[in-house]
A and B are shown apart, each in its own frame.
Chain A
Amino acid sequence: MSTIAQDKALLEGLARSEKGAIEAIYRENYGMVQALVLNNTGSPDDARDIFQEVMIVLYEKAGLESFELNCQLKTFVYSVARRLWLKKLQQMQRYNSTPVENLQETVPVDEDIELHEQKNQQFGYMESAMGKIGEPCKSLLEAYYLQKKQMQDIAADFGYTNADNAKTQKYKCLVRLKKLFFAQYKNGG
């Protein structure tokens, strides 16, 4: 039986994208979530999708400064998975007279789901903006802002004569990315 302190340590590892933590949470909880989905008209693929989303919810929660865990991780995972699956069923309009049974105790997760939806939307905005700017902008921005490469190395990789040229190009790309991002952000918000 894991204690809340151990669970908390796992979530802290998760916030740092540590492989070990992700794997441990999978091993501890995957069977439970899969059973929940399979027992309620879902498929193994649905179970995988739901579990991935639960992991993202956990990651976002663990990254908050105000993060605290008030129950066992297992209970939290179950509660989030149950809510996400209900929602999916509703979207697919398969949610008729057979409600998802509570196999285990649940805790309220409304706030967490709300935060997740908001973060997911923002992730989607950036992903779609990145998808639209085209090459070489996409690779250039990814190299600098995602992979955190040095400007000198980027200049060499992309064939710019010097780091300053690469930098100017990077900012031009960034202006376009910003425009694409905010266009959605303002419409969506």
Chain B
Amino acid sequence: MDDILLMDAAERYSKGEMSAQEIVFFEELRKNNPDIDQLVVEHNFFLNELDVYARAKAFRHTLHETEHKLAEEGLITKSQLRGKAKLYFIWNKYKRTVAVAASIAGLISLTTAGLNLAFNKNINNSKLEMLVQEVSKTQKDVDKIKNAASSNNPAAKPTPSVDYMATGFLIDAKGYIVTNAHVIAPMKQHIYVENKKGEYFTAIAVSTDVRSDLAILKIVDTGFHSPGILPYSIKRLNSDLGEQIFTLGFPRKEIVYGAGYLSAKSGQDGDSSAYQLTIPANPGNSGGPVINGNGEVIGIITGKNKGADGVTYAAKSKNIFKLVEDLKRQDKDFQTIKTPSGNILRGLDRVQQIKKLEDYIYMVVGN
């Protein structure tokens, strides 16, 4: 009797799926063959271990979810405080040394940066492809026809006619979305965001930073309802070379998944505010989140190298915090922006992670 048949028999036996006749046969077999009996005992032990593991895993997941929720409420403090305190201490100790070093470094980097700018600017632009998609005339015509067809249904909002499309994702469930600065630059008249269900909301740009190529949008549509606590967190620290990452974006009118790895800790021409990734990206992927296996957003797709296949660039996620903090300083209306502090994606398999993520990723379109 081969192993697979035996395992199947053991499982059906313990689940009570055997007929009376089979049970007799199986019990007889075990009694007369100590080897087989031993195998069945071992298999049952293993299945029990697997079941204990399954339940422990489910428990740990619920535990993380609860902790995440309570951290959002402020009951559980996160470690950022400690980081600041420590930094302050080191700063005091080395203030003078740092000041001297910084001024020297400053001078050198200014000169180098100046030289770089002077020599590289033109080459840069020709090599880098921004990944905003211009919506073709055919697509627009299709949309028009669809609109005409759905106009019989008064509940459906007409799809606005749009010229450009890319990706963005929520950083605060109240309706703050991060995308690229270059995504919204050509959208002179209107900016809309569209969720997975195809619902459109009007948005406005509240902050742009051309240097890191990021922008923050706010959904101002009264019809917008928050999809709930964000499942991902945003990473403050740099990520490691070789880290497995994935992205979700809108290179077409449907959300598309892509996976790859972090291939360099700097972006094009040594830009330290960006990463180089090896991941397929197409027009429309700009502004999409780059997420690691733990469910942390580590970057935002910005563009790809025209000359090399799969070489994609992403702004580092810590730039988001800078942008949010600047925004809070400028205007007290934005004091309430709260970036997510924990995540519930850790430990889930990729398919489950994506299911939880989809609702928080938006198509950014405009004209």
Give residues in A with beta carbon < 8 Å to B: 17, 19, 22-23, 26-27, 30, 34, 43-45, 47-48, 52, 55-56, 59, 63, 119, 122-123, 126-127, 138-139, 142, 145-146, 167-168, 171-172, 174-175, 178, 181-182
Check if B50 sits within 8 Å of A139, measured CB to CB: no
Nearest Cβ distance between residue A150 and chain B, in whole angstroms? Answer: 13
Check if B58 sits within 8 Å of A123, measured CB to CB: no
| Option from B4, B50, B59 in Cβ contact (under 8 Å) with A126 | B50
| Option from A52, A119, A146, A178 in Cβ contact (under 8 Å) with B57 | A146
21 intermolecular pairs with C-beta atoms under 8 Å apart: A17-B59, A17-B62, A19-B62, A22-B62, A22-B63, A23-B66, A44-B81, A45-B78, A52-B67, A56-B60, A126-B50, A139-B349, A139-B351, A142-B349, A145-B50, A145-B54, A146-B53, A146-B54, A168-B4, A174-B7, A181-B46
**Bound CA–CA A182/B81 (angstroms):** 44
Closest A residue, CB atoms, query B65 = A19
Check if B70 sits within 8 Å of A23, measured CB to CB: yes
The answer to the question of B238 belonging to the interface, with a C-beta cut-off of 8 Å to chain A, is no
Taking CB atoms, residues of chain B closer than 8 Å to A172 are: 4
Check if A171 sits within 8 Å of B76, measured CB to CB: no
Check if A171 sits within 8 Å of B8, measured CB to CB: yes
**Bound CA–CA A37/B298 (angstroms):** 30
Taking CB atoms, residues of chain A closer than 8 Å to B63 are: 22, 52, 55-56
Taking CB atoms, residues of chain A closer than 8 Å to B75 are: 26-27, 30
Closest B residue, CB atoms, query A141 = B50
Residues 69-81 of B, flagged 1 when their CB comes within 8 A of A and 0 if not, give: 1100001111101
**Bound CA–CA A30/B76 (angstroms):** 8
Check if B67 sits within 8 Å of A48, measured CB to CB: yes
The answer to the question of B329 belonging to the interface, with a C-beta cut-off of 8 Å to chain A, is no
Closest B residue, CB atoms, query A123 = B56
Closest A residue, CB atoms, query B69 = A23
Check if B52 sits within 8 Å of A171, measured CB to CB: no
**Bound CA–CA A4/B82 (angstroms):** 37
Taking CB atoms, residues of chain A closer than 8 Å to B96 are: none
Nearest Cβ distance between residue B348 and chain A, in whole angstroms? Answer: 10
**Bound CA–CA A175/B8 (angstroms):** 12
By Cβ-Cβ distance, the 9 closest A-B pairs, closest first, are A45-B79, A126-B53, A146-B54, A44-B77, A171-B4, A43-B82, A17-B59, A22-B66, A44-B79
**Bound CA–CA A19/B82 (angstroms):** 29
**Bound CA–CA A34/B77 (angstroms):** 9
Check if A178 sits within 8 Å of B46, measured CB to CB: yes
Check if A45 sits within 8 Å of B82, measured CB to CB: yes
Nearest Cβ distance between residue A44 and chain B, in whole angstroms? Answer: 4
**Contact of A138 with B56 at beta-carbon distance under 8 Å, contacts A26-B66, A145-B51, A167-B8 already known:** no
Residues 320-353 of B, flagged 1 when their CB comes within 8 A of A and 0 if not, give: 0000000000000000000000000000010100
The answer to the question of B49 belonging to the interface, with a C-beta cut-off of 8 Å to chain A, is yes
**Bound CA–CA A127/B81 (angstroms):** 33
Check if A122 sits within 8 Å of B70, measured CB to CB: no
Closest A residue, CB atoms, query B83 = A43
| Option from B60, B70, B349 in Cβ contact (under 8 Å) with A26 | B70
| Option from B4, B53, B62, B70 in Cβ contact (under 8 Å) with A123 | B53
**Contact of A30 with B82 at beta-carbon distance under 8 Å, contacts A17-B55, A56-B60, A123-B53 already known:** no
Taking CB atoms, residues of chain B closer than 8 Å to A171 are: 3-4, 7-8
**Bound CA–CA A43/B60 (angstroms):** 22
Closest B residue, CB atoms, query A48 = B76
Taking CB atoms, residues of chain B closer than 8 Å to A19 are: 62, 65-66
Taking CB atoms and an 8 Å cut-off, the chain B residues in 72-103 that contact chain A are: 75-79, 81-82
Nearest Cβ distance between residue A77 and chain B, in whole angstroms? Answer: 14
Closest A residue, CB atoms, query B77 = A44
Nearest Cβ distance between residue A130 and chain B, in whole angstroms? Answer: 8
Nearest Cβ distance between residue B235 and chain A, in whole angstroms? Answer: 15
**Bound CA–CA A172/B60 (angstroms):** 28
Check if A181 sits within 8 Å of B49, measured CB to CB: yes
Check if A59 sits within 8 Å of B66, measured CB to CB: no
Taking CB atoms, residues of chain A closer than 8 Å to B8 are: 167, 171
Taking CB atoms, residues of chain A closer than 8 Å to B70 are: 23, 26-27, 30
Taking CB atoms, residues of chain B closer than 8 Å to A55 are: 63
Nearest Cβ distance between residue B5 and chain A, in whole angstroms? Answer: 9
Check if B57 sits within 8 Å of A26, measured CB to CB: no
| Option from B47, B58, B77, B81 in Cβ contact (under 8 Å) with A17 | B58
Nearest Cβ distance between residue A186 and chain B, in whole angstroms? Answer: 12
Q: Which of A23, A119, A167 lies at the interface centre, i.e. has the most chain B CB atoms within 10 A of its CB?
A: A23
Taking CB atoms, residues of chain B closer than 8 Å to A59 are: 56, 59
Taking CB atoms, residues of chain B closer than 8 Å to A138 are: 349
**Bound CA–CA A34/B75 (angstroms):** 11
